[in-house]
Amino acid sequence: MSAEPTSCYICEKLLAGGTTRDHVVPRQLFNPQELPQNLLTLPTHKACNLGLSLDEEYFRQCIVALAAYRNKLATGIWKGPVQRSLDRRGQVQRHMLAANIQEAARRVPFYDDSGQFLGFGSEVQFDAGRVKRVLEKIVRGLFWYHCRLLIGDVSFTTSFVDPTSADSSEDEFPDLKDQSREICLEGGVLRYSFRLCDDSPSSSIWWLEFYEAPRFVILTLCNAI
């Protein structure tokens, strides 16, 4: 099997012309002062890489904002790289981005079923399309890493597990989750598990957890007949 794909792992078209390397798990999710040396990168078209760059920045804002109140690493990234990113921008762009961050994460009160006040937490509203594009890219890269195959023509279904929900500790598809192997990346950014369909590996289920808080479940279904 090839050590690396000969096609772009994002669009799955043959690599030709302008190419570069892309971090499968976005580099900006990590603490730049403690960046692991073995982050997974794969060759891509420059256009595919650049086409996702703004979505990855938005993804970082949402995920870090959601996890910052409960995770030290996420808090550091929120106060460090995210704030520096705001400071580097022009005044108009900075105000627009700050508004987006405030809109993405709001401090709201939480109550139990009886109406008892539990305290304040973060409410995050995602631009689902932008978040989904980044999650799909990550799954495509991890699939290559584990299978040494491009995932091919698949449909993605993504669900979000709210860490502030009372039943957030309950996994979706627990029987399949029990049969999977949990993998933790260096740096404490991502913990994930996956299961492949025996008859069609491109059909799979992935559990992705960022900063020990936001969790996503991604299903891939092979479209080939």
220: which residues sit within 8 A by CB, 6+ positions away?
139, 143, 151, 154, 155, 156, 157, 202, 203, 204, 205, 206
For position 216, what pLDDT does the model report? 92
Measured distance CA(73)–CA(198) in Å, rounded: 37
148: which residues sit within 8 A by CB, 6+ positions away?
1, 2
Measured distance CA(172)–CA(107) in Å, rounded: 27
Sign of the dihedral through C-alpha 39, 82, 98, 47? negative
For position 174, what pLDDT does the model report? 66
- Count the residues in the chain: 225
Measured distance CA(219)–CA(217) in Å, rounded: 7
For position 85, what pLDDT does the model report? 73
Identify the segments of the chain with pLDDT beneath 50. 101-103, 166, 168-169
Domain ranges of the chain: 19-222
Mapped onto helix, strand or coil, the DSSP state of residue 22 is: strand
DSSP state of 15: P
